[in-house]
């Protein structure tokens, strides 16, 4: 049964007039009349008695009204109070991001976001694997991507550029010396992130690395402990450069091609909480670009 036709019928029953129901619904009177006639044809009985002066419910119409009017009112209320239909973003926002983002700028972003939007609850999952957003029920993901993403089920919003540069600890450089040119790296111990192309662009494939890992936080700590030279995102290294625990190596060489992107499922109606987080993160990063290079080295 067509709920729209039921809505027309209930409006006529409550106002006692096709004209008043039409004004209430913002429809032509003829549309309301045709709709009720279609409903009567669908149920196979007369629902309204019509005269030139008034409209009244038949016995069948009374029974139908008593059963359907409360249900339609409840349905309208339920739809109207959905979190995503409210003016302010609300509800649970499920997001995922790599561990390194969770250990640096993301906590401050979330703290400020939840302070601005008090009705939003955050469920944040930190993982370095590429989560299937649709299958696992996530609203959005933050990822570092050096290539074009081709998943047609996702929208991609570029948030900024992640510069990648070379770093080592002062104790390592004191022990092994400081490289002056890319070809000098072949004589050094390298700590590499699996799949990162930067060292390959400098003529050093992954197999040359002394330590190979898939977590940037682990690589940073390994380098700080004196294991060798590594390519790290500037946002992950800058605090340690400032404190003197890391030194930039070969400062002329930077890989600026990696982008920070936000991914979210491609739907007709993107939830307000997702759009609000996207815009908030863009605002945050506009005031504090992650590609800003730390001093030193």
**Residues 141-165: tens digit of each pLDDT:** 999 886 566 677 888 999 888 888 9
Domain final position from 27, 54, 81: 81
**Domain of 99, in residue numbers:** 91-159+260-287
Q: Let me know if residue 297 belongs to a domain.
A: no
The predicted pLDDT at position 20 comes to 87
How many folded domains does the chain comprise? 3
Q: What is the CA radius of gyration of the chain?
A: 31
For residue 80, the model assigns a pLDDT of 58
Give the model confidence (pLDDT) of 225-276 as tens digits. Answer: 999 999 999 999 999 999 999 999 999 887 756 788 999 988 878 899 999 9
For residues 126 and 269, membership in a common domain is answered with: yes
The answer on 62 and 108 residing in a single domain is: no
Q: What percent of the chain shows pLDDT beyond 70? A: 91
Shared domain check, 173 and 237: yes
Using the structure block, give the residue that is written with the tokens 């091609």. Answer: 257
Say yes or no: 17 and 143 in one domain: no
User: Residue 201: pLDDT above 80?
Assistant: no
Q: Using alpha carbons, select from 152, 154, 135 the residue that is nearest to residue 143.
A: 154
Cβ burial, residue 110 (10 Å; 0-12/13-18/19+): buried
Clarify whether residues 220 and 198 are in a common domain: yes
According to the model, what pLDDT value does residue 76 have? Answer: 73
Looking at 28, 63, 81, the residue that finishes a domain is 81
Residue 183 forms part of a structural domain: yes
Domain of 51: which CATH number? 1.10.10.10
Q: Is residue 293 assigned to a domain?
A: no
End residue of a domain, out of 55, 81, 107: 81
> What tens digit of pLDDT does each residue of 39-49 get?
888 888 898 88
pLDDT bin (cut points 50, 70, 90) of residue 286 is confident
Q: Is residue 70 part of a domain?
A: yes
pTM of the model: 0.64
Q: Is residue 225 located within the same domain as residue 268?
A: no
Q: Are residues 232 and 267 in the same domain?
A: no
Here the CATH number for the domain that contains residue 251 is 3.40.190.10
Does residue 180 share a domain with residue 230?
A: yes
Does one domain contain both 176 and 227?
Answer: yes
To 10 degrees, the CA torsion angle through 124, 105, 102, 189? 160
Which two three-digit tokens encode residue 148? 């074009």
Is residue 179 located within the same domain as residue 252?
Answer: yes
Question: What's the pLDDT score for residue 154?
Answer: 86
| Per-residue pLDDT at 148 | 63
Are 170 and 251 in a shared domain? yes
What is the tens place of the pLDDT at every residue in 53-97? 788 888 888 998 888 888 888 877 776 555 555 568 889 999 999
- Per-residue buried b or exposed e for 47-69, using 16+ beta carbons within 10 Å of the residue's own CB: bbeeeeeebebeeebeebbeebb
- Residue 107 inside a domain? The answer is yes
Task: Decide which of 234 and 206 is more confident.
Answer: 234
Pairing of strands 154-168, 190-193: unpaired
* 297: confidence class by pLDDT, cuts 50, 70, 90: very low
Asked if 112 and 195 sit in the same domain, the reply is no
Q: Please check whether residue 175 lies inside any domain of the structure.
A: yes
Is residue 86 assigned to a domain?
Answer: no
Confidence grade of residue 126 (pLDDT, cut at 50, 70, 90)? very high
pLDDT for position 195: 75
The pLDDT of 177-193, averaged and rounded, is: 92
Q: What was the pLDDT predicted at 296? A: 44
Mean pLDDT, range 115-130, rounded to an integer = 93
Domain-embedded: residue 178:
yes
pLDDT digit string, tens, across residues 93-114:
999 999 999 999 999 999 999 9
Q: Is the CB of residue 206 less than 8 Å from the CB of residue 192?
A: yes
């Amino acid at each position: 049964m067509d709920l729209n036709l039921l809505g027309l019928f209930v409006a006529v029953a409550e106002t006692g007039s096709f004209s008043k129901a039409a004004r209430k619904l913002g429809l032509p009177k003829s549309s309301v009349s045709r709709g009720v006639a279609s409903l009567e044809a669908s149920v196979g009985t007369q629902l309204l008695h019509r005269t030139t002066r008034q409209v009244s419910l038949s016995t069948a119409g009374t029974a139908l009204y008593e059963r359907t009017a409360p249900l339609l009112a409840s349905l309208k209320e339920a739809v109207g109070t959905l979190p995503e239909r409210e003016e302010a973003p609300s509800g649970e926002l499920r997001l995922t991001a790599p561990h390194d983002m969770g250990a640096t700028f993301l906590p401050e972003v979330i703290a400020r976001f939840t302070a601005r939007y008090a009705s939003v609850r955050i469920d944040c999952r930190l993982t370095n694997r590429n989560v299937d957003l649709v299958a696992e029920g996530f609203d959005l993901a933050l990822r570092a991507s050096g290539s074009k993403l081709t998943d047609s089920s996702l929208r991609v919003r570029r948030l900024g550029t992640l510069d990648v540069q070379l770093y080592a600890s002062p104790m390592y450089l004191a022990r092994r010396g400081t490289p002056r040119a890319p070809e000098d790296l072949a004589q050094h111990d390298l700590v590499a992130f699996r799949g990162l192309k930067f060292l390959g662009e400098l003529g050093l494939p992954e197999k040359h690395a002394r330590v190979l890992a898939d977590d940037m936080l682990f690589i940073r700590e390994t380098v700080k402990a004196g294991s060798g030279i590594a390519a790290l995102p500037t946002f992950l290294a800058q605090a340690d450069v400032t404190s003197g625990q890391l030194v930039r190596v070969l400062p002329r060489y930077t890989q600026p091609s990696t982008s920070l992107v936000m991914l979210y499922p491609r739907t007709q109606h993107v939830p307000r909480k997702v759009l609000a987080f996207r815009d908030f993160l863009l605002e945050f990063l506009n005031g504090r670009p992650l590609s800003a290079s730390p001093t030193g080295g």
